[in-house]
Amino acid sequence: MRQEEVARLILGLVVILLPWAGPYTVIPLAALAAVFLLDKESRILSGSLGMLLLMRLALGWAHINLPLYIIAISFATSTFAPLAAKRFDTLAGSIIYLMTAVALGYPAAYEASFGIISPERILFLCLLGGLCGAFLFHASRERDFAVPFGSAMAMWLFSFDYPLPELGRILMICIVALGLGLAAYWAKAADSDAVLSETLICLLVVLFSGPAWFLLLLSFYLMGGGFTKYGYTYKQKLGIAQSKGGVRGYRNVYSNSLVPLILAVAHGVYGSDMLVFAFIGAVATANGDTLASEIGETSRIRPIMITTLKPTDAGVDGGVTPLGEAASMIGAAIVGLLAAATDMTGIHGVLAGVVGGFLGTNFDSFLGATLQRKGTLSNNGVNLLATLFGALVGAGIWWVLKSF
């Protein structure tokens, strides 16, 4: 083993002291960094874990609890998991990373919580921390800072008391979600970071709001990946085809799924029907916009700019075609019909999908013609704001229907 690997292993073993030393475990961490650990990465990692411990101590004085078991999982996520994963390629390494984080984080968290926290909650947090850690390990350049802090903050955000299913079901949800992500990877529709992102989103959406909610997002993922290949050769000739053969990355996943994810978690906590309609509007916008772009770009009719109604070139931000508009209506309607078919809503869910998705898609085009062309927003920023707009339209439809 190289020196930095030995150093990381020693830092990971410090987790044994957590149940008894608590935040004062920072003392041996500091001693190791000062005396034994000479490489820069180990010092940054030691400092990051030490800062988490000091945060717990400082927050405790303000009567705010950063649970020790979360820090214990962060130890396993940022020390042992990278050691286990580094000898594999990106995707295989991510899976090994997740498995190691769960296998070692679970007993560490159980000991640090003195068995008070339920096994279901510990497993959920380990899966959450492992997925976030694996994603940040590949996506961040400052991994020895981002992994311990990022995974800890994500777990802390979801450490509130919320009813969870039994252990086996939580594990099965994660396995199925990971399997779907792997299928997308092998179909060359998603890269390894997108696989982790989709798995994380599936886990949270299903646990907080149920499988039907994720089915709507899944329809978007499948149709988005499938229609990216539609007319790909023709789009390549025009120079407007998606890069990397249409493989989607994590930025595309989060820009289209972040608003629906927040709404699904909020629904699990608050249970408002308004959030159901908002979710449908957001997903319908993502699906409608994707189909409008991928199908509309193959139109033989020259597009017009949505802000001026003057002809423009294919692939220009803000350009719309009759084919693209029809595709957006169909994509949005599919989401609404799925919502009605799965008993998320009655027939009114179709209305929320069609209206929310169609208006959200055209709002996306409007932003593309204005803020994106000026460089104020990226394509991902436009997607995020468009799904938010679609969610607001969906919520507005719920409010109008409720008034009658």
Residue 194 counted as domain residue: no
Which residue has 């994500």 as its token pair?
A: 154
Cα separation, 256 vs 241, whole angstroms: 19
The reply to whether 233 and 338 lie within a common domain is: yes
Provide the pLDDT for residue 230: 65
Provide the pLDDT for residue 38: 59
Average pLDDT over residues 308-335: 92
The reply to whether 371 and 259 lie within a common domain is: yes
- Note whether 143 and 49 are within 8 A (CB): no
| Residue that is last in its domain, among 108, 143, 164 | 164
pLDDT reading at 344 higher than 70: yes
pLDDT reading at 258 higher than 80: yes
| Residue that is last in its domain, among 100, 133, 164 | 164
The reply to whether 348 and 250 lie within a common domain is: yes
pLDDT reading at 66 higher than 90: yes
Provide the pLDDT for residue 243: 58
Residue 317 counted as domain residue: yes
Q: Which residues face 162 on adjacent strands?
A: none
Q: Provide the residue range defining the domain that includes 393.
A: 210-404
Residue 362 counted as domain residue: yes
Provide the pLDDT for residue 5: 84
Average pLDDT over residues 364-369: 95
The reply to whether 223 and 83 lie within a common domain is: no
The reply to whether 222 and 152 lie within a common domain is: no
Q: Is 195 or 313 the better-scoring residue by pLDDT?
A: 195
Provide the pLDDT for residue 360: 97
Average pLDDT over residues 251-273: 95
Residue 205 counted as domain residue: no
The reply to whether 236 and 383 lie within a common domain is: yes
DSSP for 201-269, please give it: HHHHHHHHH-HHHHHHHHHHHHHHHHHHSTTHHHHHHHT-SPGGGG-B-HHHHHHHHHHHHHHHHHHHH
pLDDT tens figures, 42-57: 888 999 999 999 999 9
Residue 173 counted as domain residue: no
Which residue has 């009114």 as its token pair?
A: 348
Residue 335 counted as domain residue: yes
Average pLDDT over the chain, rounded to an integer: 91
The reply to whether 16 and 122 lie within a common domain is: yes
pLDDT reading at 6 higher than 80: yes
| Residue that is last in its domain, among 129, 164, 199 | 164
The reply to whether 143 and 33 lie within a common domain is: yes
Confidence of residue 232 (pLDDT cuts 50, 70, 90): low
| Structure-block tokens of residue 267 | 């629904």
Query: By percentage, how much of the chain surpasses pLDDT 90?
Result: 74
Query: By percentage, how much of the chain surpasses pLDDT 70?
Result: 94
Average pLDDT over residues 321-327: 93
Provide the pLDDT for residue 240: 59
Provide the pLDDT for residue 86: 85
Residue 61 counted as domain residue: yes
Q: Is residue 2 packed enough to be buried (19+ CB in 10 Å), middle (13-18) or exposed (0-12)?
A: exposed
User: Rg (Cα) of the chain, in Å, rounded?
Assistant: 23
The reply to whether 133 and 51 lie within a common domain is: yes
Number of domains in the chain: 2
Confidence of residue 236 (pLDDT cuts 50, 70, 90): low
Confidence of residue 105 (pLDDT cuts 50, 70, 90): very high
pLDDT tens figures, 384-396: 999 999 999 999 9
The reply to whether 233 and 112 lie within a common domain is: no
The reply to whether 114 and 258 lie within a common domain is: no
pLDDT reading at 233 higher than 70: no
Residue 197 counted as domain residue: no
Provide the pLDDT for residue 239: 62
pLDDT reading at 238 higher than 60: no
The reply to whether 150 and 287 lie within a common domain is: no
In 337-401, the DSSP E strands lie at none
